[in-house]
Amino acid sequence: MPAINVTLKDGADKKELENAKKTVTDQGGKVTHEFKLIKGFTAEFPADKVHTLSTNDHITVENDGEVKTQ
């Protein structure tokens, strides 16, 4: 399963993040890391189900990947 990052958009209620976590687990995914500095988490989630999260207007969904600085 691919890893995705889910973050709460500015001004969105914190319960939307909990709803996203529930969606992940209900659809066969697993939360693997919760962020401390920003409101969000990383999850392993079936690629064919990502659209169910990305339609939520209160969160941002991105593929997890390596970040480098120059």
What CATH number is given to the structural domain containing 16? 3.30.70.80
Average pLDDT over residues 19-45: 95
68 within some domain = no
Considering its fold, how many domains does the chain have in total? 1
Those residues whose C-beta lies under 8 Å from the C-beta of residue 9, and which sit 6 or more positions away, are: 57, 58, 59, 60
pLDDT at 69 over 90: no
Domain that holds residue 31: 3-61
Nearest CA among 49, 48, 51, 24 for reference residue 16: 24
Whether the predicted model's global pTM rises above the 0.85 cut? yes
Collect all residues with Cβ–Cβ distance below 8 Å to 23 and sequence separation of at least 6.
52, 53, 56
Contact 42, 32 (CB under 8 A): yes
Per-residue confidence (pLDDT) for residue 65, from 0 to 100 = 84
How does the average pLDDT of the chain come out, rounded? 93
Residue 66 lies in a domain: no
> Residue 67 pLDDT more than 80?
no
Q: For residue 70, is it within any domain?
A: no
Counting residues of the chain whose pLDDT is more than 90, the rounded percentage is: 80
Residue that the structure tokens 């399963």 belong to: 1
**Residue with token string 């593929």:** 63
